[in-house]
Amino acid sequence: MILDLTLGVLFFLALLFGVICMGKFLGVKRQLQDMTDALNDIESGNGNRRILAAGNELTADLCYKINEIVYRYEEQLSGLRAADETNRQLMTSLSHDVRTPLTTLIGYLDAAHRGVVTGKEREDYLETARRKAHDLKDYIDVLFDWFKLNSSEFTLSIERVELAELTRNVLKDWIPIFEENHLDYEIEIPEKPLYAKVDLDGYARIVNNLVQNVIAHSRATQIKIEMAQNEKEIEIRVADNGIGIEKADLPHIFERLYKCDKGRSDKGSGLGLSIVRQMVEKMDGRITVQSEPNQYTAFTVCFPVKN
């Protein structure tokens, strides 16, 4: 009797265990099927799909890991989409910016070549063609800098450089351009040496881009470039008395392809200031801008002092 009872209890426990195991198996099978369906959905392009599992389920850790991988993948995909859209906008913008001066350049050269204009008018046509050719060169230089900066192979040759004399050498090439554009200039650079660790070509591009930005966009009659040093930093400040920048535009002024529309020239690619900021940051520097509409704009670049 006792033996029969014991056997009955054991049989019941075995049956119960079997039912539990079967339930677990079916539950895991269901979870695996749910995971397969979700992964197929994700593979088809639904990056927002997530795999759900209760915290006490056997597959919970696996679901969590898969969701984490999918989230990182979707972040990378979003970044690629944004980069693709940026490149598309860049190509559209630059194709327009290049086509306009190129069309004008060809038109003026054709007119001069065919003898449509003569004498002083022909000289004016050739001068306009020359300016348009320089505009094209500027666009190509900016585009080259932008692609170079965003290349995985891009490197800077950082070295300890005396910035005061280097800045003088960069700016002396601008003096004839200031005079040609009837732009009063004031340059204040200390006689004492100012040392920082920078890339020589990169630093020259920063200064050139900031000065070019004044000439191309500010409609200024005065430009002031000054350098100073405190205990921690060397500052290079480029200021003008032009039309200024609206407060709504200031937070976006260093963004790629961003152009201030109101009252400013549409000449340019919208990449120059973005390139400046990228260059400055790659040299462990920082750049800020201050402006008041119809009064002034001042860009300040700071590099750590290297004694």
The CATH number that applies at residue 144 is 1.10.287.130
Q: Once rounded to an integer, what is the mean pLDDT over residues 168-193?
A: 93
Q: Report the alpha-carbon distance of residue 111 to residue 126 in Å, rounded.
A: 9
143 plus 10 within the same structural domain = no
pLDDT confidence bin for 135, thresholds 50/70/90: confident
Does 169 reside within a domain?
yes
The verdict on residue 85 lying in a domain is: no
Q: Please enumerate in sequence order all residues whose Cβ is within 8 A of that of 242, keeping only pairs 6 or more positions apart, or say none.
A: 214, 217, 218, 219, 220, 221, 296, 297
3-state secondary structure of 264: coil
- Is 162 in the same domain as 295? yes
Higher-pLDDT residue of 264 and 255 is 255
Do 195 and 291 fall into the same domain? yes
- Look at residue 271 in the predicted model and tell me its pLDDT: 75
Q: Does the residue 182 lie in any domain? A: yes
Looking at the domain assignment, is residue 50 inside a domain?
no
CA distances from 31 to 52, 54, 126, 243 (A): 9, 10, 76, 65
Average pLDDT, the chain: 79
SS3 readout for 78-97: HHHHHHHHHHHHHHHHHHHH
By percentage, how much of the chain surpasses pLDDT 70? 72
pLDDT band, very low/low/confident/very high, at 58 (cuts 50, 70, 90): low
Segment 248-256 mean pLDDT:
86
pLDDT at 137: 80
Number of domains in the chain: 3
Containing structural domain, residue 65: 2-44+58-77
Question: Is pLDDT above 50 for 287?
Answer: yes
Q: At what angle do helices 60-114 and 119-149 cross, to 10 degrees?
A: 160
Question: Is 13 a residue whose pLDDT tops 70?
Answer: no
Pair (32, 67) in one structural domain? yes
Q: In angstroms, rounded to a whole number, what is the distance separating the alpha carbons of residues 112 and 37? A: 70
